[in-house]
Amino acid sequence: MQVQVNHDNHLIIAQDTSDRLGREVETSLSKYAQQISRIEMHLGDVNGTKHGDSDKRCMLEARLDHLHPITATHQAPSVQLAIDGALKKLDHALSHAIGKLRAHKRGAPEEPS
């Protein structure tokens, strides 16, 4: 699974932090490693230079084989909390989508030999 970390102009992420966040995403979603080809993480500060209670945003987009991309977004007071929230939401969405796919495959008639 490839993880790409992106950030906006208001929130600058150093390369070592980007690498650490990529590893965190890989670890958190490792149970889906066979189904996911790529994860894109988009980090941003929704208020720009202004401060706010939940102004940090993390949007995760998972690219899966044979499925449309699945996304999850979370806003929180800190970047880490935004990432944690988005990971939790994405985990739930992936579990649901992959579960539906497996159920569909189990219920499909067998192909003639």
pLDDT (tens digit, 9 = 90+) per residue, 9-56? 888 888 999 999 999 999 999 999 988 999 999 999 887 666 667 689
User: What pLDDT score does 108 carry?
Assistant: 52
User: What pLDDT score does 6 carry?
Assistant: 93
Mean per-residue pLDDT of the chain: 87
Contact 87, 25 (CB under 8 A): yes
Both tokens assigned to 107: 């219920």
**Which bin fits 66, alpha (ψ -120 to 50), beta or left (φ > 0)?**
left
Both tokens assigned to 22: 């990529």
Let me know if domain 2-107 sits in CATH 3.30.160.100. yes
User: What pLDDT score does 93 carry?
Assistant: 95
